[in-house]
Every structure is written in structure tokens, then in C-alpha cells.
């Protein structure tokens, strides 16, 4: 087989939901796991795995939400603030009482949906730039969170935190939650809403000409982003057992980084949450590496930035080679 044919086949390799040429995201994941295993002798211990997966879930959830928004051609810089607001509302309602769990969950989901709807309306109807609009609404959501819970506090029933950190037949509950998020994405991927989101993100004018409701689709993308932000908030509450009005500060940029590492095009229309889930796990493992390597926490952002640059180098360069001429099928020898 000649070299051009091998390159063509390599470009056609796709993991479910992963948009990277080849398997760069998987390669980064393998490297992160190997390094973690070297730094943590007990990395494969059941307790360590359960603890790690418990911390992965919030970032995975918000990364999926950011992916949906990015696929529509937008970007949501308020998702971290939405996580915070949904979390503090839920913890204030539950107030340590097990019988209030359903109401608290419903309230958190409602907050996420409402925040997403507001962002969608501002972006789609007022036609403001998504970065500017969601950056502004992020301050609004953060301010509301401080009104609801000025200082860290509140409590979640111990039964919830115990169950979240437990395992079922040896499988961590948090891992099941990640698989549940992947399943939810799989279901959405086959729904008409996601098909419209892909169409709008790929070419809004062509989508409009094809009778796709562009404005409504953009609003729906932000609403779905808010839904996944609320799920991230619930995961944080289940893991920490208390509320924090600052807990989502770092999650917004981390969600964008996970989307980039996962191979979703920031221009919209290409990619999927499968890659973003892997990207979120990579980022979480990098954070572990920074901690167990005794690197000062002040260097955490530097390391995350370096990881994003490496991801762009691995994923972006092959994409640049896809000129219109290169898309033509070559005969395989």
C-alpha cells in the first residue's frame, strides 16, 4: 500500500463521536493514564478509581453541554456560573433532608434550563455575539448564586454522598454516571434536534434554506447546554456534600478545553460529545498529574494551556491538510 493511500485510510478512521483525525485524543488519554499510574502506586486501587471517577463526572457533564452549544456555532462562557447557581439553589432546598431530594433535583434542572433559555434568547433573538452575551450572563448567574448562598455551606444527605462514592458489582457509581451521560448523548444524537444543531452549526444559511428553524435550534442548543450544566451541579453536590458559590469558576474554560481536546470544531457543525468526554477525562488526569507530581497549584493553568496547545497541534494540523482536492477519494492499492 502506498503512502497516499495509507494517509487516506488514516484520515477516515473515526471512533464513535470522536472527530479527531486518527486517534489523537485516545493517545493523549493513554499517556495521561500511564503517567498517573507511574505517579500513583495505588492508581488502579478500587478506592482510588472510585474517587477519580467521582471527580470526573462534573467536567464530563459540562463538556457534553459545551459540545452541544459549540456544534450549533456558538460558545457558552456562562456554563460554570450555571453550575454554581443550580448547585446553590439545590443545596438550599434540600437542606440535608432526604425527602427533599426530588424537589432539589427538579429545581437544579429547572435553573439550568432557564439559564440556557435566557442565553439562547439573547444570542438568537438579539443576535449578540455568543462570547460577549454569555460572558455577561455569566456575571448575572454568579451574582444570583452569591445572593442565594453568600458563603460555602448547606448540606446534602449522607445517603446521597455515600451512594455516589459507592460501587455496584465492583463498578463505581460515578463511572455508571459517565456511561449514562454518554448514553444520553447517543440518544440525543439520533434526535431531530441534534440533526438541526449540526446543520445550523455547519452552515446556517443552508440550514435556513432547507427549512430548518435556525433561531429555535440555537435556543435549543443553549437550553441543552444548561441541562448538562445542572447535571454537573448535581454531581458536585453528590461528591462534596455541600454547596459552594464559587465552585464553577474553573469549569467554563475547562469545558472549552475538553471540547478542543475532543476534536470538536469550534466553528460548529463537526465533532461530537464522545471526544469531549475523553477530553474531559484527559484534563482531569492532567490535574491529578500536577497534584501528585508536587507541582505548585499556580502552574495548573500553565499545564492545562500546554495540553490544549498539544491537542491543537495533533488535531488541527491533519485537519488543515483536508483541502477540497484532498477530499477526493484515491484508489487504494
CATH code of residue 270: 1.10.3470
* Domain boundaries, position 152: 28-315
- How many C-beta atoms surround the C-beta of residue 333 within 10 A? 8
Q: Is residue 329 part of a domain?
A: no
Tell me if 328 is assigned to some domain.
no
User: Is 231 domain-assigned?
Assistant: yes
pTM of the model: 0.85
Residue from 281, 291, 282, 287 nearest 301 by CA: 287
Tens-digit pLDDT profile for residues 112-161: 999 999 999 999 998 889 999 999 999 999 999 999 999 998 899 999 99
> Does the structure show a pLDDT above 70 at 316?
no
Q: Does 98 map to a domain?
A: yes
Over pLDDT 70: what percentage of the chain? 85
In a domain, 136, yes or no: yes
Q: Which of 138, 142, 104, 103 is nearest to 118 (CA)?
A: 138
Rounded to an integer, the average pLDDT of 152-181 is 91
Region 22-36: mean pLDDT is 81
The secondary structure of 230-245 as a DSSP string is: HHHHHHHHHHHSSB-T
CA 254 to chain CA mean position, Å: 8
Residue 22: inside a domain, yes or no? no
Structurally, the chain folds into a number of domains equal to 1
The proportion of the chain whose per-residue pLDDT surpasses 90, expressed as a percent, equals 49
The better pLDDT of the pair 4, 166 is held by: 166
Domain assignment present for residue 104? The answer is: yes
Give a yes or no: residue 2 inside a domain. Answer: no
Amino acid at each position: 500500500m502506498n503512502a497516499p493511500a495509507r494517509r487516506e485510510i488514516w484520515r477516515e478512521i473515526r471512533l464513535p463521536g470522536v472527530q479527531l483525525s486518527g486517534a489523537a485524543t485516545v493517545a493523549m488519554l493513554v499517556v495521561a493514564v500511564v503517567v498517573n499510574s507511574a505517579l500513583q502506586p495505588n492508581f488502579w486501587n478500587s478506592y482510588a478509581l472510585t474517587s477519580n471517577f467521582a471527580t470526573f463526572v462534573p467536567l464530563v457533564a459540562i463538556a457534553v453541554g459545551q459540545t452541544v452549544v459549540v456544534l450549533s456555532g456558538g460558545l457558552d462562557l456562562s456554563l460554570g456560573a450555571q453550575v454554581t447557581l443550580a448547585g446553590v439553589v439545590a443545596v438550599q432546598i434540600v437542606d440535608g433532608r432526604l425527602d427533599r431530594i426530588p424537589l432539589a433535583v427538579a429545581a437544579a434542572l429547572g435553573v439550568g434550563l432557564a439559564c440556557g433559555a435566557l442565553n439562547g434568547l439573547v444570542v438568537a433573538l438579539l443576535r449578540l455575539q455568543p462570547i460577549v452575551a454569555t460572558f455577561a450572563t455569566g456575571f448575572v448567574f454568579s451574582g444570583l448564586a452569591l445572593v442565594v448562598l453568600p458563603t460555602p455551606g448547606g448540606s446534602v444527605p449522607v445517603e446521597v454522598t455515600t451512594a455516589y462514592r459507592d460501587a455496584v458489582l465492583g463498578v463505581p457509581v460515578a463511572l455508571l454516571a459517565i456511561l449514562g451521560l454518554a448514553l444520553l448523548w447517543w440518544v440525543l444524537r439520533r434526535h431531530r434536534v441534534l440533526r438541526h444543531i449540526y446543520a445550523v452549526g455547519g452552515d446556517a444559511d443552508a440550514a435556513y434554506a432547507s427549512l430548518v428553524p435556525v433561531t429555535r435550534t440555537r435556543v435549543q442548543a443553549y437550553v441543552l447546554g444548561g441541562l448538562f450544566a445542572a447535571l454537573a451541579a448535581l454531581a458536585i453536590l453528590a461528591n462534596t456534600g455541600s454547596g459552594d458559590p464559587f465552585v464553577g469558576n474553573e469549569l467554563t474554560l475547562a469545558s472549552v478545553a475538553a471540547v478542543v481536546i475532543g476534536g470538536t470544531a469550534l466553528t460548529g457543525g463537526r465533532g461530537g460529545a464522545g471526544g469531549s468526554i475523553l477530553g474531559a477525562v484527559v484534563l482531569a488526569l492532567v490535574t491529578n498529574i500536577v497534584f501528585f507530581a508536587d507541582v505548585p497549584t499556580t502552574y495548573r493553568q500553565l499545564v492545562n494551556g500546554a495540553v490544549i496547545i498539544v491537542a491543537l497541534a495533533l488535531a488541527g494540523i491533519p485537519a488543515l491538510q483536508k483541502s477540497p482536492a484532498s477530499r477526493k477519494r484515491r484508489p487504494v492499492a
